[in-house]
Amino acid sequence: MNQKKNKPSRIAMMIFNWYCHPDFREEIEGDLLERFNIYSLKYGYTKANRLFIKEVISLFRPSIVGNIYHLTNTGTMEITNQNKRLITILATALAILLIPLIAMIFTNDVSWKIFDFLVAGVLLIGTGLTLEFILRKIKTLRYRILLGILLFVLLFLIWVELAVGVFGTPFAGS
Amino acid sequence: MSQKALGEFEEIVILIVAILNGDAYSVGIITEIEERLNRNVSLGAIQTVLKRLEKKGLLKSEFGDATNERGGKRKRLYEVTAAGQKILDQTRVQRNSLWEAIPRLSFNLH
């Protein structure tokens, strides 16, 4: 409890660390903590924390933020971008599943049952999640491309086997 | 503000940096301004002016020591450069010449 009372708002500090230019981060973070300690002794924790948040807000200005490109290079933004990519991958998988569904409305040549949609869904979303896993864990471009191609070849082979049965496995389609 | 002229707050900050003589850092400057001029200054305002004056070449800075009360973070200590000293001297001369130009009668008008 005492340890918590010695520290200012973590959220405000995270926001400051996000927007502050890396060149100024150390000195200004130290200034903020020193000011917080002065305020704590003078006014107590609650008011000190309120004044700390006010200072974090007042520091949000061009001279402190500097070049905005550093804002996209932080860990926070990387996580946001990764989540955006995951949503895009999953949305693409669902969009592909919609193709046979829409085709069934216009033609009798396409006739998928619920089980077919289920299997295709598992296959597409599984591929999407594996792709996202590869992109998150593998940082080398060469290996990313290699594993990506391998994944799509595997998806293609399984899809073909389920649809028309090229290899004659027990789950081959006809 | 051009490099030839100082704003009122810029002038105060350079003067305080000169007074603190090598120990000038943002929190210390704020404390000094509050004590000497009875004026409240935010950390954002002081940091902005310090960065601007450093960019103009009127101040120079280097990292100082880290202390526990600063969470182990180092201070940035500021010093007045030769250009800063020159502009302070010019400002003082200009102010003095303006004061000296005021006719004595001006103070006894009412």
| Structure confidence by residue, pLDDT tens digits, A2-55 | 455 678 999 999 989 888 988 899 999 999 999 999 999 999 999 999 999 999
User: Which of B26, B52, B70 shows the shortest C-beta gap to A63?
Assistant: B52
pTM for the whole structure: 0.60
CB-nearest to B73 from A30, A35, A61 is A30
Q: Token digits for A63? A: 């001279």
- Per domain, the residue ranges of chain A are 7-71, 74-164
- Cβ–Cβ of A61/B63 closer than 8 Å? no
A48 burial (CB, 10 Å; 0-12 / 13-18 / 19+) is buried
- Which residue, among A159, A174, A173, A157, has the nearest Cα to A123 in the 3D structure? A159
Is residue A58 within 8 A of residue B43, CB to CB? The reply is: yes
For residue A1, what pLDDT is reported? 42
The ipTM is 0.85
> Which residue from B42, B52, B71 is facing A30, i.e. has the nearest CB?
B71
Q: Which residues of A touch B (CB under 8 A)?
A: 24, 26-35, 37-38, 55, 58-61, 63-64
Chain A nearest-CA distance from B33, in A, is 15
Region of residue A14 (left: phi > 0; alpha: psi -120 to 50; beta: else): alpha
Q: What is chain B's alpha carbon radius of gyration, rounded to the nearest angstrom?
A: 17
> How large a percentage of chain A has pLDDT more than 90?
26
- Are the beta carbons of B42 and A24 separated by less than 8 Å? no
Q: Do A26 and B73 touch (CB under 8 A)?
A: yes
**pLDDT digits over B20-57, tens only?**
998 999 999 999 999 999 999 999 999 999 999 999 99
- What domains does chain B contain, in order, with CATH numbers? 8-105 (1.10.10.10)
pLDDT in tens, A121-167: 899 999 988 988 888 888 888 888 999 999 999 998 888 888 777 77
SS3 per-residue string spanning chain B? CCCCCCCHHHHHHHHHHHHHCCCECHHHHHHHHHHHHCCCCCHHHHHHHHHHHHHCCCEEEEEEEECHHHCCCEEEEEEECHHHHHHHHHHHHHHHHHHHHCCHHHHHCC
What are the strands, taking DSSP E only, across chain A?
none
Greater confidence, B34 or A109? B34
* Cα–Cα distance measured from residue A79 to residue A77, given in angstroms and rounded to the nearest whole number: 5
Confidence at residue A163, expressed as pLDDT on a 0 to 100 scale: 79
